[in-house]
């Protein structure tokens, strides 16, 4: 057993450039899988972004706001009602709207999303809380999301930028992100925002529960005591709800899943192909081994060991290229496209399994090696 | 006599060294194809597997090209129906669905430049479209037009226009999504608290902006949308004969207030497409999926060819030893690649026609497989087949007759 594994591995290691070429064919499949998966998760993560930024235990929204790209707002009174419920420590309103941002250079005006909240205890995690809070406290100012699409012109702290025709000071940058629908974000303090548009209603409220209180109980209490025009979710539930909604309303799920399956198929076919060619090219050697009395079992293990080694090197090469490819995609799409640890581990396991499967098929070839046909 | 002369001419032609070379090339290509086909047909099961893999990849490619083309057409659909050379928009304009407006006076200013033959006001907005009596709500794209004159190209809109006799009459898009409810003539709906009646229909299908669309006269649009009666979303301009759009644009920019922008027709269409396909990541995502589909097709063809080469190395060596041209051996590989590619394209195209025809029927997006897509796909397939054979050509070259013995 050990001898056969060693033989297989040494045989592959003998010709390093060839091993690299073989790994590269397996890596093609790995890269396709990671790119398709990166795009899918990137779109899902970006659409659900705001839910992942929540600094609180529960989120309250209008019941009609079935996904995060709807504009149904809640009455501010609901937040006050929730604050009065036992177990609720704090309820923080978040305002959201469109504003027009004028590019000082080309004079073009573009729509951007504004989020507004109190700088004292922030409901969203958009950067270092101390720094963001200090910057938001400057009046007549806003903070610019550094991950916005690069269509808004040169926006740097200290500059004065026209928002809805009024010049405001850029007091700093925050880190949020864009999605397919929205091109960029700015953040203002709730005070500044309400001074501009006093009739604004919150788009959501972030709830912190009192120490020791149970989130589920508090939620049930809120739903029982308030009119049925609101919905209360934990941030994780909100992320999941958004993912389901994105998958249901767009074809991206099917599109990228087919792509991933294609990637796995290509990886398996390639792995089979290189092992098959490897065996075919060395058929006389395998036949000699067989003629010398080595068992079919021995030859099988040799090929399987090669398949296993190839899955490892192929995955490593593929992962390296994928990190670069996904980095490039993140750069051009500005979506949060990255390789998640969990999904990478799953792809790794799948690569090993599929390579072994490919090796298993290639073994038929070895078993056909007939010593007699050699001469 | 003519026959004799004709035969003589053919003979002469054949005797000419250049045509002899051509005939040789033709017969060589023919032999390549027959050998290639025979080689492939030896392992029917493997051939079927390879063809279905290639077909899946090419099917995906057809879908992506078609969706991209449809998206490109969709984002300029409304403008394609309107006959104009120059457009005036507010400086907040990004794409068709922008909520800011300009004052109608820009049309008068434009006429005063002397470049302008005619002007037209266009209003667009999204309204709550409440079906009656069910009270179901949908988002509808409401379009307000001045008297169509020569600006509107669409027959049905021009024909339906005279039916807009009362402030409560409206034309509805027959291609609206089902969620909008019935849109037949006589249907009652509610917009902004007012009851309206559908008096005519047209066909657009503007899915990028709302669930459906409807058209009213501009004086009714401003009332229904709660807009200032003097405001329009954009002003369309048709120029006097002989005036270049570039000159007119410069004149208009000089004359108009600084909070307006002026685009020529082609600039406007380019910027609409760029907004959806370049600013948004939609374009790049489709391009990457296309690249992957191409890669999959190439990889499968390379696999089949490389198996062929390893299996038939001895046969190639024998051919070479018999004095066969290297071009002949390469030709077999190329012909195999082409047969695989085109053989996969056929089922892919048939399936694509079915699926895309169905999509066009359901969504009215212009996705159906047409002549240009077919030509495009054949060209892409042949390029992919060529790339695949180039990838393994070196291995065929290494077939050495001496190794045989």
Q: What is the CA radius of gyration of chain A?
A: 29
In a domain, B39, yes or no: yes
pLDDT above 80 for A4: yes
Which residue of A lies nearest to B305 if distances are taken between CA atoms? A273
pLDDT for the residue numbered B74: 86
pLDDT in tens, A26-60: 999 999 999 999 999 999 999 999 999 999 999 99
d(CA A60, CA A98): 21
Q: Are B329 and B316 in contact (CB under 8 A)?
A: yes
* Residues in Cβ contact with A276 at an 8 Å cutoff, skipping those fewer than 6 apart: A361, A362, A365, B307
Q: Verify that A21 and A63 share a domain, yes or no.
A: no
Q: Are A82 and A222 in contact (CB under 8 A)?
A: yes
Q: Verify that B243 and B128 share a domain, yes or no.
A: yes
DSSP 8-state secondary structure symbol assigned to residue A45: H
- Interchain contact, A35 vs B94, CB within 8 Å: no
Chain B residue numbers touching A263 (CB-CB < 8 A): 292
Q: Verify that A110 and A229 share a domain, yes or no.
A: yes
pLDDT in tens, B282-317: 888 888 889 888 988 898 888 888 878 877 877 888
Which residue of A lies nearest to B284 if distances are taken between CA atoms? A333
Q: Distance, in angstroms, between A205 CA and closest chain B CA? A: 26
Q: Verify that B205 and B315 share a domain, yes or no.
A: no
Q: Verify that B146 and B38 share a domain, yes or no.
A: no
Q: Verify that A209 and A284 share a domain, yes or no.
A: no
CA B122 to chain centre: 26
Contact of B398 with chain A, judged by CB distance below 8 Å, is answered with no
- Burial class of B56 by CB neighbour count within 10 A (0 to 12, 13 to 18, 19+): buried
pLDDT in tens, B243-257: 999 999 999 999 999
In a domain, B264, yes or no: no
Q: Verify that A153 and A19 share a domain, yes or no.
A: no
In a domain, A246, yes or no: no
Q: Verify that A212 and A127 share a domain, yes or no.
A: yes
- Interchain contact, B92 vs A110, CB within 8 Å: yes
* Residues in Cβ contact with A178 at an 8 Å cutoff, skipping those fewer than 6 apart: A46, A145, A147, A148, A149, A184, A185, A334, A335
pLDDT above 50 for B3: no
Average pLDDT of span B117-132: 92
Q: Verify that B288 and B253 share a domain, yes or no.
A: no
Which residue of A lies nearest to B97 if distances are taken between CA atoms? A111
Cis peptide preceding B133, ω within 30 of 0: yes
Candidate from A127-141, A264-278, B332-346 with smallest mean pLDDT:
A264-278
Last residue of a domain, one of A233, A264, A284: A233
pLDDT for the residue numbered A369: 59
Helices (H), chain A: 2-14, 16-47, 49-52, 76-83, 129-136, 190-196, 215-225, 235-249, 252-281, 283-291, 296-333, 341-367
Tell me the three state secondary structure of residue A66: coil
Name which of B98, B288, B299 is nearest A266 (Cβ-Cβ).
Answer: B299
Size of interface A-B (CB pairs under 8 A): 74
Q: Verify that B209 and B292 share a domain, yes or no.
A: no
In a domain, A241, yes or no: no
Q: Verify that B208 and B300 share a domain, yes or no.
A: no
pLDDT above 90 for A270: no
Q: Verify that A173 and A315 share a domain, yes or no.
A: no
* Domain extent at residue B308: 27-73+281-404
Q: Verify that A188 and A326 share a domain, yes or no.
A: no
Q: Are A203 and A96 in contact (CB under 8 A)?
A: yes
Q: Verify that B135 and B64 share a domain, yes or no.
A: no
In a domain, A245, yes or no: no
- Interchain contact, B94 vs A111, CB within 8 Å: yes
pLDDT above 90 for B145: yes
In a domain, B180, yes or no: yes
Q: Report the number of distinct structural domains present in chain A.
A: 2
pLDDT for the residue numbered B4: 46
Q: Are B361 and B271 in contact (CB under 8 A)?
A: no
In a domain, A242, yes or no: no
| Most distant pair of Cα atoms in chain B: their distance | 96
Residue B359 banded pLDDT, cuts 50, 70, 90: confident
d(CA B169, CA B216): 7
- Token pair for residue B365? 């997006």
pLDDT above 80 for B334: yes
Average pLDDT of span B51-75: 87
Q: Verify that B212 and B357 share a domain, yes or no.
A: no
Q: Verify that B295 and B156 share a domain, yes or no.
A: no
Q: Distance, in angstroms, between A211 CA and closest chain B CA? A: 43
Last residue of a domain, one of B222, B257, B292: B257
Q: Distance, in angstroms, between A269 CA and closest chain B CA? A: 8
- Interchain contact, B91 vs A107, CB within 8 Å: yes
Of all residues in chain B, what percent carry a pLDDT higher than 70? 91
Nearest by Cα to B94 from A210, A162, A213, A181:
A181
In a domain, B22, yes or no: no
- Burial class of A31 by CB neighbour count within 10 A (0 to 12, 13 to 18, 19+): buried
Q: How many CB atoms lie within 10 A of CB A225?
A: 11
pLDDT above 80 for B146: yes
Q: Report the number of distinct structural domains present in chain B.
A: 2
In a domain, A28, yes or no: yes
Q: Verify that A68 and A213 share a domain, yes or no.
A: yes
SS (H, E, C) chain B: CHHHHHHHHHHHHHHCHHHHHHHHHHHHHHHHHHHHHHHHHHCHHHHHHHHHHHHHHHHHHHHHHHHHHHHHHHCCHHHHCECCCEEEEECCCCCCCCCCCEECHHHHHHHHCCCEEEEEEEEEEEEEEEECCCCCEEEEEEEEECCCCCCECCHHHHHHHHHCCCCCEEEEECCCCHHHCCCCCCCEEEECCEEEEEEEEECCCCCCCCCEEEEEEHHHHHHHCCCCCCEECEEEEEECCCCCHHHHHHHHHHHCCCCEEEEEHHHHHHHHHHHHHHHCCHHHHHHHHHHHHHHHHHHHHHHHHHHHHHHHHHHHHHHHHCCCCHHHHHHHHHHHHHHHHHHHHHHHHHHHHHHHHHHHHHHCCCCCCCHHHHHHHHHHHHHHHHHHHHHHHHHHHCCCHHHHC
In a domain, B9, yes or no: no
pLDDT in tens, B109-122: 999 998 999 999 99
pLDDT for the residue numbered A163: 93
SS (H, E, C) A120-149: CCCCECCCCHHHHHHHHCCCCEEEEECCCC
pLDDT above 80 for A371: no
Q: Verify that A176 and A31 share a domain, yes or no.
A: no
pLDDT for the residue numbered A313: 95
Q: Verify that B103 and B234 share a domain, yes or no.
A: yes
pLDDT above 90 for A93: yes
Chain A residue numbers touching B281 (CB-CB < 8 A): 180, 332-335
pLDDT above 70 for A370: no
pLDDT in tens, B147-159: 888 899 989 999 9
In a domain, B221, yes or no: yes
d(CA B91, CA A353): 58
pLDDT in tens, A229-260: 999 999 999 999 999 998 887 777 877 888 88
Q: Verify that A261 and A185 share a domain, yes or no.
A: no
Average pLDDT of span B331-347: 92
Q: Verify that A168 and A258 share a domain, yes or no.
A: no
Contact of B306 with chain A, judged by CB distance below 8 Å, is answered with yes
Candidate from A170-184, A287-301, B1-15, B195-209 with smallest mean pLDDT:
B1-15
**Maximum mean pLDDT: which of A3-17, B194-208, B258-272:** B258-272
* Domain extent at residue A69: 58-233
Last residue of a domain, one of A233, A263, A286: A233
Last residue of a domain, one of A201, A233, A265: A233
Last residue of a domain, one of B223, B257, B291: B257
pTM exceeding 0.90: no
Nearest by Cα to A92 from A192, A189, A231:
A189
Q: Which value does ipTM take for this structure? A: 0.73
Of all residues in chain B, what percent carry a pLDDT higher than 90? 42
Q: Verify that B199 and B336 share a domain, yes or no.
A: no
Phi, psi of B142 (to 5 degrees): -95, 130
In a domain, A136, yes or no: yes
Q: Count the alpha carbons within 13 Å of B50 in the hemisphere toward its beta carbon.
A: 28
List residues of chain A with CB under 8 Å from any CB of chain B.
Answer: 28, 32, 35-36, 39, 100, 102, 107-111, 149, 151, 180, 183, 255, 258-259, 262-263, 265-266, 269-270, 273, 276-277, 280-281, 329, 332-335
Chain A residue numbers touching B90 (CB-CB < 8 A): 109
pLDDT for the residue numbered B102: 93
Nearest by Cα to B235 from B117, B143, B104, B112:
B104
Q: Verify that B101 and B172 share a domain, yes or no.
A: yes
Q: Verify that A69 and A146 share a domain, yes or no.
A: yes
pLDDT for the residue numbered B6: 47
Q: Distance, in angstroms, between A225 CA and closest chain B CA? A: 29
Sign, Cα dihedral of A273, A278, A279, A280: positive
């Amino acid at each position: 057993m050990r001898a056969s594994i060693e033989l297989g591995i040494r045989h592959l290691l003998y010709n390093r450039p060839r091993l690299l070429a073989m790994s590269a064919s397996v890596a093609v499949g790995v890269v396709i899988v990671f790119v398709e998966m990166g795009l899918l998760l990137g779109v899902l993560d970006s659409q659900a972004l705001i839910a992942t930024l929540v600094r609180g235990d529960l989120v309250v929204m209008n019941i009609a706001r079935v996904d995060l790209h709807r504009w149904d707002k809640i009455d501010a009174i609901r937040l006050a009602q929730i604050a009065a419920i036992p177990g609720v420590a704090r309820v923080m309103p978040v305002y959201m709207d469109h504003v027009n941002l004028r590019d000082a250079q080309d004079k073009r005006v573009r729509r951007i999303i504004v989020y507004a909240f109190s700088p004292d205890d922030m409901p969203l995690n958009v950067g270092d809380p101390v720094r963001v809070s200090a910057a938001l406290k400057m009046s007549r100012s806003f903070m610019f999301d550094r991950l916005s699409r690069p269509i808004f012109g040169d926006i740097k702290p200290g500059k004065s930028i026209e928002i809805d025709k009024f010049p405001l000071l850029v007091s700093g940058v925050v880190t949020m992100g864009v999605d397919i629908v929205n091109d960029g974000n700015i953040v203002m303090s709730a005070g500044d925002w309400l001074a501009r548009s006093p009739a604004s209603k919150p788009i959501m409220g972030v709830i912190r529960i009192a120490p020791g209180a149970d989130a589920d109980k508090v939620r049930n209490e809120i739903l029982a005591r308030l009119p049925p025009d609101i919905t209360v979710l934990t941030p994780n539930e909100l992320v999941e709800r958004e993912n389901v909604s994105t998958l249901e309303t767009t074809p991206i799920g099917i599109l990228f899943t087919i792509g991933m399956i294609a990637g796995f198929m290509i990886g398996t076919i390639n792995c089979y192909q290189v092992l098959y060619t490897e065996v075919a090219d060395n058929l006389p050697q395998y036949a000699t081994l067989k003629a010398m009395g080595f068992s079919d079992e021995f030859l099988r293990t040799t090929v399987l060991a090669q398949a296993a080694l190839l899955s490892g090197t192929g995955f490593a090469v593929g992962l390296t290229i994928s990190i670069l490819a996904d980095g490039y995609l993140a750069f051009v799409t500005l979506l949060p496209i990255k390789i998640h640890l969990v999904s990478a581990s799953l792809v790794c396991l799948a690569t090993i399994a599929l390579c072994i499967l490919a090796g298993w098929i290639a073994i038929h070839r070895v078993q056909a090696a007939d010593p007699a046909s050699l001469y | 006599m003519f026959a004799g002369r004709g035969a003589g001419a053919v003979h002469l032609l054949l005797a000419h060294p250049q045509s002899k070379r051509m005939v040789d090339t033709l017969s060589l290509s023919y032999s390549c194809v027959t050998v290639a086909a025979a080689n492939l047909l030896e392992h029917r099961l493997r051939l079927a597997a390879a063809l279905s893999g290639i077909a899946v990849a090419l099917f995906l490619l057809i879908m992506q090209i078609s969706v991209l083309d449809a998206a490109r057409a969709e984002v300029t659909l409304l403008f394609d129906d309107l006959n104009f050379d120059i457009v005036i928009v507010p400086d907040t304009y990004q794409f068709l669905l922008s909520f800011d407006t300009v004052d109608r006076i820009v049309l008068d200013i434009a006429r005063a430049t002397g470049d302008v033959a005619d002007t037209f006001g266009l209003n667009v907005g999204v309204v709550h479209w409440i079906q009656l009596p069910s009270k179901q709500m949908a988002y509808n794209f409401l379009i307000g037009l001045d008297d169509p004159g020569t600006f509107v190209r669409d027959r049905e809109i021009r024909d339906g226009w005279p039916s807009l006799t009362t402030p409560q009459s409206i034309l509805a898009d027959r291609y609206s999504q089902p969620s909008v409810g019935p849109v037949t003539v006589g249907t009652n709906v509610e917009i902004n608290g007012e009851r309206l009646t559908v008096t005519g229909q047209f066909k657009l299908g503007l899915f990028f902006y709302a669930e459906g669309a409807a058209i009213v006269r501009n004086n009714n649009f401003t009332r229904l949308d709660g807009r200032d009666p003097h405001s329009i979303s954009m002003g369309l301009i048709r120029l006097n004969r002989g005036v270049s759009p570039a000159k007119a644009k410069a004149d208009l920019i000089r004359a108009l207030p600084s909070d307006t922008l002026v685009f020529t027709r082609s600039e406007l269409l380019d910027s609409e497409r760029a907004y959806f396909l370049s600013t948004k990541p939609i374009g790049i995502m489709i391009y990457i999926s296309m690249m992957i589909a191409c890669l999959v097709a190439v990889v499968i063809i390379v696999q089949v060819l490389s198996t062929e080469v390893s299996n038939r190395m001895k046969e190639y060596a024998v051919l070479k030893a018999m004095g066969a041209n290297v071009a002949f051996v390469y030709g077999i590989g190329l012909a195999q690649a082409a047969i695989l590619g085109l053989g996969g394209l056929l089922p892919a195209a048939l399936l694509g026609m079915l699926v895309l025809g169905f999509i066009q029927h359901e969504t009215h997006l212009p996705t159906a497989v047409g002549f240009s897509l077919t030509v495009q796909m054949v060209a892409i397939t042949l390029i992919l087949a060529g790339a695949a054979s180039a990838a393994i050509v070196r291995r065929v070259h290494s077939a050495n007759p001496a190794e045989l013995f």
